[in-house]
């Protein structure tokens, strides 16, 4: 068993882990420790590793305590083939634009529990990924805001309602099916049971049974609390960086990425996956049209 070294990196969440060889199998003791770290801290960073797609995918399932399916279509994106978030690779996800804080597939009650990105090719200066904790957001929510959201539900969809208010650099992703979900603002994590401040800039449309103008005003206060500068971890990518994060407990964002900018090719995995989630890719556009 390799000796793991752990260093805290974020404001109340996130750790850098060293001492793990990026190979399968991982010892049972290390698996238990990594799962504990993941549930406690929400984000694991490994630097300067030569990680295969197989290792990255296997780790994604192991960290949430699930067996990886035999069916390649349900084990990882694109049936076990590389899936990139990149401004250079053809057919890559999120190739351009700014992303506001969000959790992937937040408009589904069975949203991904874990996401990961691996730095395949990264030129400097690299565009960072920003992380904010919905778990810490709920824990630190001021009493007046907590009273305002007590017992209330938010509706989530994928047309980036808030992106269409003047920011034409925001990337909008829409799917053929207009999926919606109404979930408690104080949503319970299905695996850990921890309460989450479950609203986001990119996908939350409004607060159920609240007039739109009042709901928007309250949401903006909640967004501001979630993403206040002292509560955000900003990760500047290097080649060989591998990050796993809890897609429900944390939200992520990024500044504007340009197709003409430095190479930024990150390999992505997520889990668990349903057949509906493996369907056609989204349509991409900028918020300005």
Give residue limits of the domains in the chain.
5-273
Decide the pairing of beta strands 114-122 and 242-246. antiparallel
The one-digit pLDDT tens for each residue of the chain (289 residues) are 468 999 999 999 999 999 999 999 999 999 999 999 999 999 999 999 999 999 999 999 999 999 999 998 899 888 888 999 999 999 899 999 999 999 999 999 999 999 999 999 999 999 999 999 999 999 999 999 999 999 999 999 987 777 666 678 999 887 777 889 999 999 999 999 999 999 999 999 999 999 999 999 999 999 999 999 999 999 999 999 999 999 999 999 999 999 999 999 999 999 999 766 655 678 888 776 5
Which parts of the chain are beta strand (E)?
Answer: 5-8, 15-18, 43-46, 84-86, 97-102, 114-122, 129-133, 153-156, 171-174, 181-184, 186-188, 195-197, 204-207, 232-235, 242-246, 250-257, 264-271, 283-286
How many whole angstroms separate alpha carbon 263 and alpha carbon 125?
9
Of 3.60.20.10, 2.40.40.20, 3.60.130.10, 1.10.10.10, the CATH number of 5-273 is 3.60.130.10
Q: Quick one: DSSP state of residue 215?
A: H
Identify the helix (H) or strand (E) that includes residue 213.
helix 212-226
Q: Show the beta-strand stretches assigned E in 123-191.
A: 129-133, 153-156, 171-174, 181-184, 186-188
DSSP state, 21?
-
- In this prediction, residue 280 carries a pLDDT of 65
> Is the previous residue joined to 272 through a cis bond, with omega within 30 degrees of 0?
yes
Which pLDDT score, from 0 to 100, does residue 1 have? 47
Distance CA 237, CA 267 (A): 12
pTM over 0.85: yes
Tokens 């824990």: give the residue.
139
Cis peptide before 25 (omega within 30 of 0): yes
Instruction: Provide the 3-class DSSP secondary structure of residue 63.
Output: helix
**Residue 77 DSSP class:** G
Residues 6+ apart with CB under 8 A from 191: 39, 64, 65, 113
Residue 127 pLDDT? 97
Q: What pLDDT is recorded for position 158? A: 85
Which one-letter DSSP state was computed for residue 263?
A: -
Can you tell me which residue has the tokens 């430095």?
262
Which residue in this structure is represented by tokens 């057949």?
Answer: 275
Neighbour count for residue 84 (Cβ, 10 Å): 24
pLDDT at 289: 55
pLDDT score of 120: 98
- Beta-bridge mates of residue 116: 244, 269
pLDDT of residue 174: 78
Q: What tokens were used for 186?
A: 């104080």
Round to whole Å and give the CA distance between 235 and 127: 9
Sheet holding 84-86, edge to edge: 5-8, 15-18, 43-46, 242-246, 114-122, 264-271, 84-86
């Amino acid at each position: 068993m390799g000796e793991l070294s752990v260093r805290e990196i974020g404001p109340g969440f996130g750790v850098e882990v060293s001492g793990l060889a990026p190979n399968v199998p991982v010892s049972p003791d290390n698996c238990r420790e990594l799962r504990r770290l993941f549930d406690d801290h929400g984000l694991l960073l490994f630097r300067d590793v030569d990680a295969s797609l197989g290792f990255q995918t296997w780790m994604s399932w192991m960290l949430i305590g699930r067996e990886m399916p035999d069916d390649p279509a349900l084990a990882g994106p694109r049936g076990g083939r590389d899936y990139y978030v990149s401004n250079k690779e053809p057919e890559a996800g999120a190739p351009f634009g700014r992303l506001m804080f969000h959790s992937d597939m937040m408009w589904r009650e069975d949203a991904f529990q874990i996401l990961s990105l691996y730095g395949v090719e990264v030129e400097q200066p690299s565009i960072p990924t920003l992380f904010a904790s919905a778990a810490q957001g709920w824990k630190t929510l001021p009493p007046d805001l907590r009273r305002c959201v007590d017992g209330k539900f938010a509706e989530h969809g994928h047309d980036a309602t808030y992106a269409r208010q003047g920011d034409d650099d925001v990337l909008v992703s829409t799917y053929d099916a207009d999926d919606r979900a109404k979930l408690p603002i104080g949503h319970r994590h299905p695996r850990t049971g921890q309460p989450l401040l479950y609203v986001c800039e990119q996908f939350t449309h409004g607060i159920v049974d609240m007039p739109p103008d009042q709901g928007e005003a309250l949401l903006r206060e909640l967004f501001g609390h979630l993403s206040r500068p002292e509560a955000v971890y900003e990760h500047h990518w290097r080649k060989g960086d591998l990050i796993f994060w809890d897609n429900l407990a944390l939200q992520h964002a990024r500044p504007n990425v340009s197709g003409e900018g430095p190479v930024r090719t990150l390999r992505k995995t997520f889990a668990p996956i349903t057949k509906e989630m493996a369907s056609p890719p989204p349509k991409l556009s900028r918020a300005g049209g």
